[in-house]
Amino acid sequence: MQLRADFDAIANWVTPNSSLLDLGCGDGSFLEFIRIKRHVKTYGVEIMDASVLACVKKGLNVIQQNLEGGLALFEDQSFDTVVLSQTLQTIHQTERILREVVRVGKQCVVSFPNFGHWSHRYSVALGRMPVSKSLPYEWFNTPNVRVLTIADFEALAHKLGIEILGRVVLHEGKVVQWAPNLLGSLAIYRVRGTQ
């Protein structure tokens, strides 16, 4: 099984032997990876039946819940790290979820496909919605309800009082240093609340 490009970048920000909550954990691939790599006590939240079952079969702690309902089950700062990996663009109540993420986690990692990548801009300029490795769906079957860029996320974080502690931008698994909003297809942020 090939791991997603953002797994290692996220792992670099996770302290060994800490607690981690993965929101929208899918089949538990990241939870399994981080549990082994950093010896982390992991928990996941997922809505899809098949994904929850896959997590259970892997022996992972998972709660079946729709993130749109918020994170009321979890107390303030109850996890060392909360991860929202490639899920932000599927959320309707973006501001509410981001506020909840930084409430529940002492630090948080948020990653998302960057709609500002030059290939996506080019597709739109040609009159078509982009389809790529980072945005693999057609406009009519995509789970994505939001399209955002690196600049959009940073502006929203500032508006919500979310402190950006670190950023890694990738394209095809390689770190992008120059013009990340144009050349990066996947953005990964380490953030925390400033309350």
Per-residue pLDDT of the chain (195 residues; tens, 9 = 90+): 567 888 999 999 999 999 999 999 999 999 999 999 999 999 999 999 999 999 999 999 999 999 988 899 999 999 999 999 999 999 999 999 999 999 999 999 999 999 999 999 999 898 988 888 777 888 888 887 888 999 999 999 999 999 999 999 999 999 999 999 999 999 999 999 986
Q: Who contacts 101 (Cβ-Cβ below 8 Å, separation ≥6)?
A: 23, 71, 82, 84, 108, 110
Rounded CA separation 24/118 (Å): 27
Q: Who contacts 158 (Cβ-Cβ below 8 Å, separation ≥6)?
A: none
pLDDT score, position 195: 62
pLDDT score, position 154: 97
Domain boundaries, the chain: 6-193
pLDDT score, position 131: 86
Is residue 109 a contact partner of residue 13, using CB atoms and an 8 Å limit? yes
pLDDT score, position 142: 81
Rounded CA separation 30/161 (Å): 28
State the number of CA atoms in the 13 A half-sphere of 83 facing the CB. 29
Read out DSSP for 158-193?
HHHTEEEEEEEEEETTEE--SSHHHH-SEEEEEEEE
pLDDT score, position 69: 83
Rounded CA separation 107/80 (Å): 6
pLDDT score, position 118: 94
Residue range 6-193 forms a domain whose CATH class is: alpha beta
Rounded CA separation 186/170 (Å): 5
Rounded CA separation 70/104 (Å): 11
